[in-house]
Amino acid sequence: MKLLLIEDNATMQTTLRRSFERRGVQVIGCEDGARALALWQASLPDAVLLDLSLPGMDGLEVLSQARAAGLETPVIILTARGTVGDRILGLNTGADDYLPKPFDLDELEARLRALVRRSGNADSSSGAGRGPVWCGMHVEKDSGAVYFAGQPMELAPRELSMLQALLGKPGHAIAKERLFELVFPGESHVQPEAIEVVAYRLRKKIAHTGAQLVTLRGLGYLLKADS
């Protein structure tokens, strides 16, 4: 399991990180609300533990923006705000569970694993045709269409082929030659430089998503989240 821990208290973050890593969970830490959304989009965690009182951006705003961007990762809110009104607000914003501080680590782990199991079961039934969400985008497995924030993106066929390939390995470079094979299959008459034209057009089409199409000279292309 990959866990994104968004918590500004250094002692709490260290305690939770050590506890979960001893239990076989990979933990990615973030202490700043302004950076949390980009890290969430880039790391594709299985679950998120989210504190509400964060510097840079309040935890509820982080959650609201994440849900608006199409990120459906299960979220447990951890906070000292323990009133019924706070819990209702957090759940209505898009949280899946709410655990007030102080809490028991065993209970937290049990709730976390239950959420991830339920999320996996849902994906295996009603969501079986959808690939992982990254920067609010995902590939519909049956049709091959790419969606952003729940809406299909308007892409030319070659732009679509390129984006499909890049979304398969976000954050990793894909060789220019390999992308050419995928975007121009069997078209030996097309010059290799044509892939640069497709990349230029695709870069403009995804500018609003929070993702960047980066050219790596001598290596190829990769997608990365805006910092």
CB 133 within 8 Å of CB 72? yes
Q: Before 102, cis peptide (omega within 30)?
A: yes
- Tell me, yes or no, whether 106 lies in a domain: yes
Task: Tell me: do 108 and 170 sit in the same domain.
Answer: no
CB atoms < 10 A from the CB of 221, how many?
23
| Domain around 156 | 137-225
Task: Tell me: do 117 and 144 sit in the same domain.
Answer: no
Task: Tell me: do 82 and 141 sit in the same domain.
Answer: no
> Is the torsion defined by CA of 139, 215, 4, 8 positive or negative?
negative
Task: Tell me: do 76 and 108 sit in the same domain.
Answer: yes
Question: Of 64-68, 128-132, 134-138, which gets the smallest average pLDDT?
Answer: 128-132
Q: How far apart are CA 114 and CA 120, in angstroms?
A: 10
Task: Tell me: do 19 and 64 sit in the same domain.
Answer: yes
Number of domains, the chain: 2
- Tell me, yes or no, whether 215 lies in a domain: yes
- Residue 125 CB partners (closer than 8 Å, separation 6+): none
Task: Tell me: do 110 and 12 sit in the same domain.
Answer: yes
> Structure pTM?
0.54
Task: Tell me: do 87 and 159 sit in the same domain.
Answer: no
CB atoms < 10 A from the CB of 135, how many?
27
* DSSP element (H, E) containing 137: strand 137-139
Write the pLDDT tens digit of every residue in 39-97: 888 888 889 999 988 888 888 999 999 888 888 889 999 877 656 666 677 778 888 88
